[in-house]
Each structure stands twice: as C-alpha cells, then as structure tokens.
Amino acid sequence: MKKRLTQGLLIACAGWSVNAFALGYTGDFEACMRKAQSQSNLINTCQIKEYKAQNKRMKKLLKITLKTTADSEQALVTQSQEVWLQRRDNACNIKNKKAKEFLISNSSCAVQMTMSHADMMEVRLHNKNMK
C-alpha cells in the first residue's frame, strides 16, 4: 500500500514539474504542423501562431526575470533583451514587419530563435529559484 502511494506521489510531482517547466514548442504547434502536412501556406500559418505564443512566453519570462533581479542589474537585463531582439529581427529579416507579413523563412527563423531564447530564460529562472 505504501509503495503504491509513494509511486502515485512521484508521478504527481513529475507531472507538476513538467507543467511548471515547459520548454520547447507548444502542443498546439505540433498538432497544427501535423494537420498542415506539406502545405507551405498552412505551415507558415502554424509558425506565425507559434512565434506569437513563444514571443508572449518570452515577454512573460522577461517580466519575471526583472522582478527577481536586483534593481542595480535591471537596466542591464533590459538592454541585453533589446540587443537580442535587434539581432533576432535582423537575422530573421523581420525588422519593421508584423507577424502576418512573415514569409515561411521569416517565421521559421523567428520561431526557432524566440523559442530558444525563451527556453534559456526559463532555465535561468529555474536555476536561480533552485539556489
């Protein structure tokens, strides 16, 4: 009986940790891409939606980062984020473009870079909270 209870608790804890620490693509993106198959216009639509979701996630993580950062370092974090945004926009050729104007090459690049950056931010916050 105790063994089953312990196993149940471990499974529940693992589920909570996965929900609190969600790296990578959203489940919606994976489902969208399966439906799109090889239709480039649908793939681009999926990528634009995922870019928006990852960008929103990144902004949320930035707010949390700023709240948990010493006042003396907040300007540096903000400046670093602005430099990263400029690099992403230049690398993906999305400077001064709205997401709905992205070509498939723009959206693919923007999704990858934004997701990677958000993942990195999330790992840093997780590691900072573990200390």
Residue-wise pLDDT tens digits, 74-96? 999 999 999 999 999 999 999 99
DSSP letters for 36-87: HTT-HHHHHHHHHHHHHHHHHHHHHHHHHHHHTS-HHHHHHHHHHHHHHHHH
- Quickly state the pLDDT bin for 1 (edges 50, 70, 90): low
Between 27-36 and 40-67, two packed helices, what is the crossing angle to 10 degrees? 170
pLDDT score, position 21: 57
Tell me the per-residue pLDDT of 43-53, one tens digit each, with 9 for 90 and over: 999 999 999 99
The pLDDT score that the predictor gives to residue 12 is 42
Section 3-9 average pLDDT: 45
Establish how many alpha carbons lie within 13 A of residue 86's alpha carbon, considering only the half-sphere containing its beta carbon.
Answer: 6
Question: What is the distance between the alpha carbons of residues 106 and 87, in angstroms, rounded to a whole number?
Answer: 13
Reported pTM:
0.81
- Phi and psi, residue 98, nearest 5°: -85, 155
Query: Residue 106 and residue 84: Cα distance in Å, rounded?
Result: 16
Report the distance separating Cα 93 and Cα 45, nearest Å.
Answer: 17
What's the pLDDT tens digit per position in 110-126?
999 999 999 999 999 99
45 close to 104: Cβ distance less than 8 angstroms:
no
Residue-wise pLDDT tens digits, 11-38: 444 433 334 557 999 999 999 999 999 9
Q: Give pLDDT, residue 11.
A: 44
Closest CA to 51 of 93, 101, 111, 105: 111
- Domain spans, the chain: 46-131
When pLDDT is averaged across residues 57-63 and rounded to a whole number, the result is 97
